[in-house]
Amino acid sequence: MACAREVLLNAVRACTRTESAKGITWRVLLNVQRRKSELEKGYFLVLSSHRKIRGEKEGKKRSRAFPPGFSIPLAEYRAQRVYPLKLNMYVGNSGDGDGTPLNGAVNSELRWSSGALEIRETTTAGKHAVATAEIHPGDILLVEPPLAGCLLPEFYGTHCQHCYARLRAPVGCPNCSCVAFCGKKCREIAMATYHKYECKVLALLIGSGMSVLSMVALRMVTQEGPRKCLKIYEELKKNDVERVAMLLAATSTTTPTATPDTHDMKSPASSKSAKRRIRRRKLKESRREEIKKTLMEEKGTKESREGDDESVDVAPYNLVTHADKRTSRDFLQRSLMAAFLLKCLQRVGFFANPTPDDENRGMHRTRGSYTNIGNFGEFAEVPGVEEITVAALLLRNLQLLQFNAHEFFETRMSAEHRFHGSRPVYLGVAIYPSVARFNHDCYPAVTRYFIGRHIVIRAIRGLRPGDVIAENYGPIFTKRTLAERQRTLTGRYWFQCTCKACQEDWPCFENLTNDSVKLRCPTVGCGGLHLRSWQGKPIKCPDCQKKICLEDRLACLRECEALYERGLASMENERVDEAIETLCDALKRFHQVAYPPHRDTHLAEIALSSCLADYGNTWRLAAL
């Protein structure tokens, strides 16, 4: 009671300080269910009183205005601070709440991305994003909602379980006191999908000590339901079978047709090598027949489901898992986790006809030993086909999340200044299938932030057609040495980075200067680079073999350095839009005439990332 009254008093004080009731901020308690009715009554009492003071009608609902061209639904957009987006962030409005990313047409293959990029595949880099048009600093390349995501348990009481928004007037779960939602809409979506299963075992999942990646693997299953999970697994199996069939067909075309070996027909006492050849030929033929039979069965199954209108997208499940590189110990640990999650699903009614376990089948303990009433000597039945299929999908999820998940965050700001002391606070983990295609670079070309549940990818330096669009997985060259970066990437992501920063061993920020920059050759089409220590005389470019003068390049570089200072001054005065415009212009010019490393440029790119993050989810502490 006392706590509820204190919250209401704080709400009244907030109404007197602000111009609208949106200044009321609720401090969420984990036992929100117990005080829900009292808090809601008090909230609407304060809200109606505040509207009467302002002369508003009590029944009128206030809505938050979106920036021009912004079309993400209100439930999806929960940023603490909203500023007009003067940069061309979104164009068009589909009417269904899906905004189309700026900077060109929408990519036909990647629904959430700009037409300025595409996904290519090579044997060395795998699938990765490549620029198909000129990209400038500040351009938005991708806006995507998560396939699945989970909050960290320590934020269950401050953020919505479904949309990750900071809670203001929370709505509790009717069955548990562990989670809260920002509104009835989010609660209805969660209760209709994943939370109706997770609610019953959420305390067990948290107490087990399992990682948040395991929670996301479970969420990928519970939010789809058993029927759709089976369809996803069928599609994945069919794709695997087709790939194997194509591989076998390719090998059969290159291998000459087998003919009877005369040595095999001489006598029963043929050589052992001849018998092995015969067995291998028969094994290959039987495998081909088995593959053909499986394909026919899959085709018949697909035709039999002709009236089914529910489609599934298996592209996210084809992300890299590195299953061929995993050890038996790794598979054992992930299989045990998949078995544990399967047991939880069996207990919460996920399956229509779950296999009864020891407890449900009448097992009881007598004198220190277990005895089965129904069938002596058997301790548990083997899970059914449906349960094994879901367990296999869980195991696949646990593997792909290791390399493809992203941490989502909100930017915490101090009360004194927007940028002094600001830092990202990681709230949880989610998987964004399109963003997962972006490869790593120790000198990233993009930055990311979050608006509600959506991830936004924006360029922080210019890119030309054909350039790789890379993000950063954590180890960045300005903060960590080459040895540290390689050790982290090899241990965490299982690859050796070969980016320019690693090949040329760029120095960390402490040892970085402006003198190590290189100037680009002014000849069109030439990729020659020249040191800044130019003496003012024409020189011969070793690449294009032409005499060039770098005076214009040096003058442009000095202008960029002056613009950097102006942009940082705008940040100091908290003029965010002005700082973004200035820094984007300076960075665009720099990459046209010069090539890093360059201390002021990297400082400007970090500053631009901070300014762009101000458009995302932020939380500013109230001044005392």
Write the pLDDT tens digit of every residue in 167-200.
Answer: 999 999 999 999 999 999 999 999 999 999 999 9
Instruction: Give SS3 for 163.
Output: coil
105 Cβ contact partners less than 8 Å away, ≥ 6 residues apart? 114, 115
SS (H, E, C) 136-162: CCCCEEEEECCCEEEECHHHCCCECCC
411, pLDDT greater than 70? yes
Q: How confident is the model at residue 551 (pLDDT cuts 50, 70, 90)?
A: confident
Q: How confident is the model at residue 288 (pLDDT cuts 50, 70, 90)?
A: low
Comparing 43-47, 267-271, 440-444, 560-564, which segment has the lowest mean pLDDT?
43-47
Give the mean pLDDT of 367-383: 47
Q: Is the dihedral of CA 128, 134, 136, 141 positive or negative?
A: negative
Predicted local confidence at residue 251, as pLDDT:
59
- The whole-angstrom separation of Cα 437 and Cα 112 is 13
207, pLDDT greater than 60? yes
Q: Greater confidence, 325 or 297?
A: 325
Query: For residues 507, 513, 516 and 518, what is the CA-based torsion angle, rounded to 10 degrees?
Result: 120
Q: How confident is the model at residue 295 (pLDDT cuts 50, 70, 90)?
A: low
Phi, psi of 183 (to 5 degrees): -170, 175
- The whole-angstrom separation of Cα 389 and Cα 342 is 10
Give the mean pLDDT of 442-457: 95
Amino acid, single-letter form, for residue 573:
N
Q: What angle do CA 457, 597, 122 make, to 5 degrees?
A: 55
Q: How confident is the model at residue 357 (pLDDT cuts 50, 70, 90)?
A: low
Predicted local confidence at residue 36, as pLDDT:
39
617 Cβ contact partners less than 8 Å away, ≥ 6 residues apart? 78, 79, 80, 164, 165, 166, 409, 410, 411, 449, 450, 451, 452
101, pLDDT greater than 90? no
Q: How confident is the model at residue 52 (pLDDT cuts 50, 70, 90)?
A: very low
Q: Greater confidence, 139 or 83?
A: 139
Predicted local confidence at residue 534, as pLDDT:
64
- Residue 403 tokens read as 């390399």
Q: Give the residue from 559, 543, 545, 553 showing the smallest Cα distance to 522.
A: 553
Q: How confident is the model at residue 360 (pLDDT cuts 50, 70, 90)?
A: low
Predicted local confidence at residue 542, as pLDDT:
84
499, pLDDT greater than 80? yes
Instruction: Give SS3 for 103.
Output: coil
Please identify which residue in the block is written with the tokens 């399956």.
Answer: 351
624, pLDDT greater than 70? no
Instruction: Output the pTM of the full model.
Output: 0.73
296, pLDDT greater than 80? no
Give the mean pLDDT of 303-315: 60
Predicted local confidence at residue 244, as pLDDT:
66
Q: How confident is the model at residue 279 (pLDDT cuts 50, 70, 90)?
A: confident
Predicted local confidence at residue 390, as pLDDT:
96
| CA within 13 Å, CB half, 479 | 7
Predicted local confidence at residue 212, as pLDDT:
96
Phi, psi of 185 (to 5 degrees): -65, -50
Q: Taking all residues of the chain, what is their mean pLDDT, rounded to a whole number? A: 76
Give the mean pLDDT of 404-412: 95
Q: What percent of the chain has pLDDT over 90?
A: 51
Predicted local confidence at residue 378, as pLDDT:
43
Domain ranges for the chain: 512-620
508, pLDDT greater than 50? yes
The top-scoring range by mean pLDDT among 32-36, 94-98, 208-212 is: 208-212
Q: How confident is the model at residue 381 (pLDDT cuts 50, 70, 90)?
A: low
Give the mean pLDDT of 558-580: 95
266, pLDDT greater than 50? no
Contact status, residue 496 vs residue 125, Cβ threshold 8 Å: no
- The whole-angstrom separation of Cα 276 and Cα 316 is 42
Predicted local confidence at residue 30, as pLDDT:
33
The tens digit of pLDDT for each residue in 211-229 reads: 999 999 999 999 999 999 9
Q: How confident is the model at residue 362 (pLDDT cuts 50, 70, 90)?
A: very low
- Residue 267 tokens read as 């006598």
The top-scoring range by mean pLDDT among 55-64, 364-373, 496-505 is: 496-505
Predicted local confidence at residue 27, as pLDDT:
32
- The whole-angstrom separation of Cα 104 and Cα 250 is 40
- What is the DSSP annotation of 272-294? HHHHHHHHHHHHHHHHHHHHHHH
Q: Greater confidence, 245 or 100?
A: 245
